[in-house]
A and B are shown apart, each in its own frame.
Chain A
């Protein structure tokens, strides 16, 4: 019964969203907006569940983990969670204290993690460009051209470098990317259709 209800709700919600995309009919637009609102409500419940999971996992680690780093990380996380929640609930998420903590700790922390990516690119490139076979050689050759084309010294070495670099990006690279994009798009469409019609029931259990 529950399974059938889930399949019916999935079908109706998906069908209304698709119909509202193609047809400009008043009641469809209203229904589409309603479904999106329900989605926000479901997401809010999911966030509450996820928060409980986060607290459970980290309380367990803070109390019983044998790894000291684990204990410290979990303690810092729980303290931060409690601190931000208390400030957010008492002073509001637009208060100066909340903003200072968010803009002063959270935002720079995220930027730092993002910036670390450059070191990972360097180490990944080092491994990727080791010429072990013809394919890796081709990769190194084309990547060297593309990188040289992106810096002024490339043009100094040979005036044709920027043009060759741009050709590699625009023609063989783009052809491959578009091929993958079409395949991935059709694959996603097929998966969505199976789910919508209840053919694929793996998510319903």
Chain B
């Protein structure tokens, strides 16, 4: 075991067991999980409905992160939401424009959309979908995506995934073309910008929970239950750590450095 990673290892094991157990527990029908309403998700059909009425396209960005590294789960959550959005654009025959920053996300997005159009029986309309790789440079992507939004004037813009300093630019340009905007990110530093500039925002873990509430699959719902239990464990550890430190004990400091 590498020095200093023992505590992290056991935390990893405990969290994995809790999440898998919660998943199987819910799947067996032992517990009915009810997820609270996620208003941003409920607004997605409304946004696409507005685009249908206005005869304008829909813009989607799965964020700027890759499918590797610590921000990858955000990109994958964005792709899950892309599947839902693509099904709705296929259903209502609305043109979908997807702007991509990371090259490896491009085939993933293309395949997800193609599959969604197939499932909706609208494969012929897939030709109208524009999945565009713009640039792998952050601000070149931001400038290009802003240009696409300004020229295409989408009636709805969805920004789901990991974003950095460019998020405000994308959201503000969307506001300028009067797009109905729904965002979602777990990049904590960027949440305030999305909250102030977009109509609805999935904050932090809501981005991940969104997939569960879309599918209503027991395993996904079990994962949400597992997440809540893990959060309770974390809070308990935090409280215990604060109390121990307040009473002069360095037990938790030693524990964390094991």
Binding site for B on A (CB under 8 A): 18, 21-24, 39, 42-43, 46-47, 49-51, 53-54, 57, 67, 69-70, 73, 106, 109-111, 113-114, 116-117, 120-121, 123-125, 127-128, 177, 180-184, 186-195, 197, 199-200, 202-203, 205
Contacting residues, chain A, for B134 (C-beta < 8 A): 54
B92 CB–A CB distance under 8 Å: no
Q: Are B139 and A203 in contact (CB under 8 A)?
A: no
Q: Are B186 and A189 in contact (CB under 8 A)?
A: no
Name the prevailing secondary structure of the B interface residues: helix
B213 CB–A CB distance under 8 Å: no
Interface-forming stretch among B33-41, B49-57, B190-198, B243-251?
Answer: B190-198
Per the bound structure, the CA–CA distance linking A202 and B8 in Å amounts to: 29
Shortest beta-carbon distance, A181 to chain B, in Å? 5
Contacting residues, chain B, for A54 (C-beta < 8 A): 132-134
Instruction: Report the number of A-B residue pairs with Cβ-Cβ less than 8 Å.
Output: 167
Q: Are A184 and B186 in contact (CB under 8 A)?
A: yes
Per the bound structure, the CA–CA distance linking A91 and B113 in Å amounts to: 40
A122: nearest chain-B partner, CB-CB: B172
Q: Are A117 and B204 in contact (CB under 8 A)?
A: no
Known: A73-B147, A192-B73. 13 other contacts (CB 8 A): A47-B136, A49-B107, A53-B106, A106-B140, A111-B139, A113-B142, A113-B143, A121-B168, A183-B205, A189-B15, A193-B16, A203-B79, A203-B108
Q: Lowest 3 CB-CB distances: which A-B pairs, in order?
A: A187-B208, A50-B103, A187-B205
Per the bound structure, the CA–CA distance linking A51 and B165 in Å amounts to: 25
B179 CB–A CB distance under 8 Å: no
Per the bound structure, the CA–CA distance linking A128 and B175 in Å amounts to: 13
Q: Are B230 and A21 in contact (CB under 8 A)?
A: no
